[in-house]
Amino acid sequence: MDLKIVKNAVLGLVVGDILGVPVEFMSREELAEDPVTGIREYGTHSQPAGTWSDDSSMALCLLKSLSKGLDYQDIMSRFLRWAEEGYMTAHNEVFDMGFATREALVRFSEGTPPLKCGGTGTYDNGNGSLMRILPLALWLHDHINEKFPHNSSSYQIIHNVSALTHAHPISLISCGIYCSVANELICGRTSLKDIQNGITTAKDFYQSLPEFSRYLPKFERVDVYLLQSLPKEDISSGGFVIHTLEAALWCLSHSSDYRSCLLEAVNLGEDTDTTGAVAGGLAGLKYGWQEIPEEWLSSTAKLDDILELCRIFSASV
């Protein structure tokens, strides 16, 4: 796969995460008083500027694993190394981990098979699999083909990769829709109409299967035109996976460049790093990594290592 596309996705995601880390958990009202306008240091997690978090670490674990082929055991083993050893972290330490991810990794470390590790309860629908799924869209685009969102076996793989930590149908559908939208952008189709096509393609697939179609009413607002029409007050930016998906699409529809998209995302408040990562991956694919402000990109911890991972993945697919 073209290295540029890999960099668009990965750097877009990582820089979005970085922007959000210092202000995670701040409310929208607090941020309105002192909005994020660029890379900050310290703040919520007392990390230096350019520090990325679990979102990027887990996405990079997936990227690295997929560069060797699809192996669920290998993906989970890398996630566990992240949790236990600080593998694929900005400064060799883990400073945040979602509850469902933690529970899944405990199960894995106790011998549960990888595809049985993710939580299946309604409360297991945090955004912890959505935030790291993007490398899989790149992989499917090359290993299935550019029509992978029309192929049911693609969804099985997306669902399996989500289910390593998040196995409820709401999380699976969120990842399926996100990968389908990402595919449009990977193909160079970047208009709102194209993004909506990506959403509709995935929803049509889910509509055909009763075990998923019963959850589709919860995704009614996952419609880029509907979201574009909504004021910011109607957008939630906490940890619920559908809210994160809506927020990312809302930011994409309310901006015309990477910078403004990401500042919208982070200034929504609450789960700022994950909203930034999920919106950032799409914005990177839409606008291209060269559109990421130079001072944001150059702050990135271990940038050379990330670029090397992109190169290895690009050469492998």
What is the distance between the alpha carbons of residues 287 and 270, in angstroms, rounded to a whole number? Answer: 25
**In DSSP terms, which residues pair with 119 in a beta bridge?**
166
**CB-closest chain residue to Mg ion:** 53
Q: How far is the CB of 54 from Mg ion (least distance, A)?
A: 4
Q: How far is the CB of 209 from Mg ion (least distance, A)?
A: 31
Q: How far is the CB of 96 from Mg ion (least distance, A)?
A: 5
Q: How far is the CB of 274 from Mg ion (least distance, A)?
A: 6
Segment 68-127, which members bind Mg ion (CB under 5 A)? 96
Residue with Cβ nearer Mg ion (97 or 144): 97
Among 47, 51, 53, 244, binds Mg ion (CB under 5 A): 53
Dihedral angle computed from the Cα positions of residues 295, 298, 299 and 304, in that order, rounded to the nearest 10 degrees: 170
Q: How far is the CB of 47 from Mg ion (least distance, A)?
A: 11
Residue with Cβ nearer Mg ion (18 or 199): 18
Q: How far is the CB of 192 from Mg ion (least distance, A)?
A: 28
Q: How far is the CB of 273 from Mg ion (least distance, A)?
A: 4
Among 10, 54, 134, 253, binds Mg ion (CB under 5 A): 54
Residue with Cβ nearer Mg ion (127 or 201): 127
Q: Does 270 bind Mg ion (CB under 5 A)?
A: no
Q: Does 273 bind Mg ion (CB under 5 A)?
A: yes
Residue with Cβ nearer Mg ion (59 or 285): 59
Residue with Cβ nearer Mg ion (96 or 103): 96
Residue with Cβ nearer Mg ion (205 or 296): 296
Residue with Cβ nearer Mg ion (197 or 244): 244
Residue with Cβ nearer Mg ion (2 or 93): 93
- Nearest Cα neighbor of 303 from 18, 62, 2, 3 is 18
Total number of residues that touch Mg ion (CB under 5 A): 5
| Span interacting with Mg ion, options 52-60, 175-183, 233-241, 306-314, rule CB under 5 A | 52-60
Tokens 């499917």 belong to: 140
What is the distance between the alpha carbons of residues 110 and 121, in angstroms, rounded to a whole number? Answer: 20
Among 19, 50, 52, 55, binds Mg ion (CB under 5 A): 55
Q: How far is the CB of 19 from Mg ion (least distance, A)?
A: 12
Q: Does 275 bind Mg ion (CB under 5 A)?
A: no
In sequence order, the 6+-apart residues with CB closer than 8 A to the CB of 131 are 54, 55, 58, 59, 244, 274, 277, 278
Q: How far is the CB of 300 from Mg ion (least distance, A)?
A: 15
What is the distance between the alpha carbons of residues 118 and 204, in angstroms, rounded to a whole number? Answer: 25
Residue with Cβ nearer Mg ion (9 or 157): 9
Per CB under 5 A, residues contacting Mg ion are 53-55, 96, 273
